[in-house]
Structure 1
Amino acid sequence: MGPAIGQVLPLALGIAISPVPIIAAVLMLLSPKARMTSVGFLVGWVLGIVVATTVFVLLSQVLPDETESGSRPILGTIQIVLGAGLLALALRQWQGRPRPGDEPRLPKWMHTVDRISFGGALGLGALLAAVNPKNLLLAASAGATIGTAGLATGEVAVTVTVFTLLAACTVLIPVIGYLVAFARLAVPMDALRVWLSRENAVIMTVLLLVLGIVVIGKGIGSL
């Protein structure tokens, strides 16, 4: 189980370091309905990660076992394709970065998060966690790694739990911290939102580039 957890930790960090959901969580925490919407968003974010990862764990368990030489060509090919997808997303992020002097453009739905309901926040969190292309590729890679590691059912559950907690920590920590000490964290939270909005493209480009290379490396190693 230890080696499997070690292999998925970088992928979990890739989901955790996602500026858009962090910005969304901060905006909800600064809204009049902070307690309701932020908790809904957190629950949806965690559920989305769990569901996406578990689906790919189950799908990967039907892949052929290792060959006599110890290689897994189908798994390796899948990982290379996933890594290539991450590199393509990195290129897209870099090309879409704001030019010097331009204001960063955020999704239009972010302007409505202060009026969103608990159910809407839950659904938004689930969609950003499980349907976002970057997170979906990372969850697929993590699920394939866990599902082909030969773990018992209990070990799979523990590994998915560890992966989810780390992947969700950048939303989990601000929400819990703000609900406990909201008066002291309002200004730092807003400063974090401004910085992430400005640096979103650069952060995501570097992150996707590194993770794409890591996943491709895993794929080559499995061939």
Structure 2
Amino acid sequence: MGKVLGDVLGLAAGVAISPLPIIAIILILATPRGRLNGPLFTLGWILGLSALGAVMLAIASPAGASAHNQPATWVGAVKLALGVVLVLFGARQWHRRPKDPSQAQLPKWMGAIDRLTPVKVFGLGLALAALNAKNAPLTIAAAASIGSAGLPVGQQIASLAIFVLIATLGLLAPLGVFLLGGERAKTTLGNWKDWAAQHNVAVMAVLFFVLGLKLLGDGIGILVS
């Protein structure tokens, strides 16, 4: 189990460092229903990652993700394909990054966050976790790594739970500051939001590229072993 955690912690950190969801929860916390909607958004995020990971684990086990305690060939192919996708996304994001960070613009849907109902806030967290172009491939890759390690079901579930916990730290940090930070929380979260908004595209590009190269290396290593 220790080796599996070593493989997936980097992927979990990549999910945790997601500027758009961090900006989204900060905006949600600034609304009148922030104390309700912030935890709901986080819960949606956790369930989105958990559901996607669980589906991949359910596919991996009967599909023979582990062969003689080594990842099966198809797991290497999946990681290789995901790596290619992330590297291409990274190159695209880097090309699209604003030359002047102060000119960076947030997605238009963020302007409607203060009008979202609790149900829609929950759904937004779910979508940003499970349907995001970076988070979904990383979660699938992590679940494939867990499923290909030949672990008992209990350890697979525990490994996925640890992955989800680490991947949620990016949201838990602003939520904790909001709930415990008192009067200074608004200023702190505002500074975090401004920085993330200005550097979102560049951060995403670097993460796409670095994590894509990791998955490429993992996939090639499995295929040639």
Question: Could you say which TM-score interval applies, normalised by the shorter chain?
Answer: over 0.9
Q: 2:190 aligned with 1:202, yes or no? A: no
Counterpart CA distance in 2 for 1:125 and 1:53 is 16
Q: Is the 8 A contact 1:37 1:116 kept in 2?
A: no
Q: TM-score scaled to structure 1, two decimals?
A: 0.94
Q: Is the 8 A contact 2:65 2:75 kept in 1?
A: no
Shift >4 Å, 4+ stretches: 65-68
Q: 1:182 to 1:25 in 2, by over 3 A?
A: farther
Corresponding residue SS for 1:205: helix
One-letter amino acid matched to 1:40: L
Map of 1:147 onto structure 2: 147
One-letter amino acid matched to 2:16: A
Map of 2:187 onto structure 1: 187
Gap runs ≥5 in structure 2:
none
Counterpart CA distance in 2 for 1:53 and 1:67 is 20
Corresponding residue SS for 2:149: coil
Counterpart CA distance in 1 for 2:30 and 2:64 is 49
One-letter amino acid matched to 1:197: A
Identity of aligned residues (%): 36
One-letter amino acid matched to 2:148: T
Q: 1:46 to 1:101 in 2, by over 3 A?
A: closer
Q: Is the 8 A contact 2:65 2:147 kept in 1?
A: no
Counterpart CA distance in 1 for 2:117 and 2:65 is 46
Corresponding residue SS for 1:105: coil
Map of 1:51 onto structure 2: 51
Q: Is the 8 A contact 1:60 1:144 kept in 2?
A: yes
Map of 2:212 onto structure 1: 212
Q: 2:103 aligned with 1:103, yes or no? A: yes
Q: Is the 8 A contact 2:16 2:170 kept in 1?
A: yes
Counterpart CA distance in 2 for 1:61 and 1:23 is 36
One-letter amino acid matched to 2:196: L
Q: 1:71 to 1:183 in 2, by over 3 A?
A: closer
Correspondences of 1:1-223 after superposition (within 5 Å): 1-64=1-64, 72-100=72-100, 103-223=103-223
- Report the CA distance between 1:39 and its aligned residue: 1.2
Q: TM-score scaled to structure 2, two decimals?
A: 0.93
Counterpart CA distance in 2 for 1:101 and 1:154 is 46
- Report the CA distance between 1:66 and its aligned residue: 5.8
Gap runs ≥5 in structure 1:
none
Counterpart CA distance in 2 for 1:66 and 1:111 is 46
- Report the CA distance between 1:125 and its aligned residue: 0.2
Q: Please list the CA deviations of residues 72-116 of structure 1 after superposition, one character each: whole Å capped at 9, or x if unmatched.
A: 322111110010011111012112211337621211110011222
RMSD: 1.8
Q: Is the 8 A contact 1:63 1:74 kept in 2?
A: no
- Report the CA distance between 1:182 and its aligned residue: 3.7
Aligned residues: 223
